[in-house]
Amino acid sequence: MLPPPLLLLLCLVLLGNLEPAATLIRVPLRRIHPGHRIFSPLYGWEQRAELSRTPTSGGKTAFVPLSKFMNTQYFGDIGLGTPPQNFTVVFDTGSSNLWVPSTRCHFFSLACWFHHRFNPKASSSFRPNGTKFAIQYGTGRLSGILSRDNLTIGGIHNVSVTFGEALWEPSLVFALARFDGILGLGFPTLAVGGVQPPLDALVEQRLLEKPVFSFYLNRDSEGSDGGELVLGGSDPDHYVPPLTFIPVTIPAYWQVHMQSVKVGTGLNLCAQGCGAILDTGTSLITGPSEEIRALNKAVGGFPLLTGQYLIQCSKIPELPTVSFSLGGVWFNLTGQDYVIKVQQGQSNPEPRDSQCPGVVTLQILQSDVGLCLLGFQALDIPKPEGPLWILGDVFLGSYVAVFDRGDKNIGPRVGLARARSRATGRAERKATQAQFLRRRPG
């Protein structure tokens, strides 16, 4: 999630060289089935799965269920305090702070009434700090005080972290959001108030061997499995090797150099090279407005007032491939990859809040009008930071990304490889099992 001027839009990954015995924290994802409550501001806060504690013989491995909404929003549960108080958070590579709503929030802070709130009096390990903080997210903002307590993430407990208790969330988008708070996975330089990001706390307290994490976002339409976040490593079953590593150019956001963007065989964008940020807190792919307009025109989309584009769902098989050149390798997205199919069976289309503050996502009902949402949106980021492209969940749903903070020998980098679909993985495992059975001696 990009603070201004970088965030206006919805805003995990791995290391290829970790040994199997390395400490891993696994975060399985689960899918949300919105049903008829898709437009309810209270949707999504039903009973959550308990924080799992599942150790393995190869080291600590923990599981935290995450939720998925429309293949564009991914959430997970963490715990704060002793005993843990559960919160749903966005795991966001575009920011570096952890914050949740507080029971001490302002009475007129509407978001507090719709979300879980941290109660310091209910935690035996709570330590007050009291330093004020404020974060601006495009048209959404919040403020509060810093506190210290124990974080539970997966099966890892008692991680001492400094986090924000949100006391004032005046923006309506926070009240409608399907998450309680945000857990930032960006670099320390992005952290408001100079606090230590949670990833650094895990490494410093020797609960994680290296500051590396990977995200697999499952975009299959069936089942409740939404993918998996792995902290400290990756699962090779999630991607098709090899991983292509691209150096981070500016260690704040996960920013890399992109050589070019190509639409089919007739349009070239980012012709002189450009910056690109890989951001799990951004739902769509964004770029400079002039280039995004040209891209959507080449694809055949037509614009909405919100800055997003629609396409007839029936045209998906005919859409051109959109390709991104990173690290000298072309990463291709087909129409199936970059078109968002909306849940069928709704009664009327209407605006809905996006995952990140400041953006409204228009949900179009495929069953009613035969329209789908294109995964590209204009976002002009001014100099000196911009212009920039943001490769959000539409891109990261097709490619597993490895976020590696590096060490004294290797600088920060991002590794990319094509994600395996759950269906493909199951088919490969069945084929392997069948081959094994055929080879077994009679």
Asked if pLDDT for residue 355 goes beyond 50, the answer is: no
Question: 77, 149, 180, 279: which one is catalytic?
Answer: 279
What is the rounded distance in angstroms from the CA atom of residue 209 to the CA atom of residue 20?
12
Average the pLDDT over 277-304 and give the result. 93
Q: To the nearest whole percent, how much of the chain has pLDDT over 70? A: 71
Identify whether 337 is a catalytic site residue.
Answer: no
Average the pLDDT over 326-350 and give the result. 76
pTM score, two decimals?
0.80
Identify whether 149 is a catalytic site residue.
Answer: no
∠ CA(49), CA(58), CA(207), 5° rounding?
65
Asked if pLDDT for residue 317 goes beyond 90, the answer is: yes
DSSP strands (E only) in 138-172: 140-153, 156-168
What is the rounded distance in angstroms from the CA atom of residue 180 to the CA atom of residue 174?
8
176 φ, ψ (degrees, to nearest 5): -90, -10
Band of residue 117 on the pLDDT scale cut at 50, 70, 90: very high
The per-residue pLDDT for range 399-409, each reduced to its tens digit, is 999 999 998 89
**Cα atoms found within 13 Å of the Cα of residue 423, Cβ hemisphere only:** 5
Q: Which residue has the higher pLDDT, 433 or 231?
A: 231
The per-residue pLDDT for range 232-270, each reduced to its tens digit, is 888 898 899 999 999 999 999 999 999 999 999 889 999
Band of residue 226 on the pLDDT scale cut at 50, 70, 90: confident
The torsion of the CA quartet 259, 263, 268, 274, rounded to 10 degrees, works out to -30
Band of residue 160 on the pLDDT scale cut at 50, 70, 90: very high
CB 208 within 8 A of CB 199: yes
Note the helical H segments in 62-197: 110-113, 172-176
∠ CA(102), CA(104), CA(109), 5° rounding?
75
CB 141 within 8 A of CB 8: no
Asked if pLDDT for residue 436 goes beyond 60, the answer is: no
At 221 the pLDDT is 60
At 71 the pLDDT is 52
Q: Is the C-alpha dihedral spanning 179, 45, 119, 200 positive or negative? A: negative
∠ CA(61), CA(164), CA(92), 5° rounding?
50
What is the rounded distance in angstroms from the CA atom of residue 64 to the CA atom of residue 77?
6
- Contacts of 329 by beta carbon, 8 Å cutoff, 6+ apart: 244, 416
What is the rounded distance in angstroms from the CA atom of residue 336 to the CA atom of residue 310?
14
Write the DSSP string, 399-431.
EEEEEE---SSS--EEEEEEEPPHHHHHHHHHH
Asked if pLDDT for residue 43 goes beyond 70, the answer is: no
- Contacts of 363 by beta carbon, 8 Å cutoff, 6+ apart: 38, 39, 70, 342, 346, 349, 350, 351, 352, 373
What is the rounded distance in angstroms from the CA atom of residue 164 to the CA atom of residue 170?
16
Question: 92, 149, 337, 353: which one is catalytic?
Answer: 92
At 235 the pLDDT is 85
Ramachandran assignment for 223, one of left (phi > 0), alpha (psi -120 to 50 degrees), beta (any other): left
The per-residue pLDDT for range 19-38, each reduced to its tens digit, is 334 567 887 654 443 332 22
At 62 the pLDDT is 37
At 266 the pLDDT is 86
The per-residue pLDDT for range 357-389, each reduced to its tens digit, is 333 334 434 444 588 999 999 999 888 888 999
Q: Which residue has the higher pLDDT, 44 or 154?
A: 154
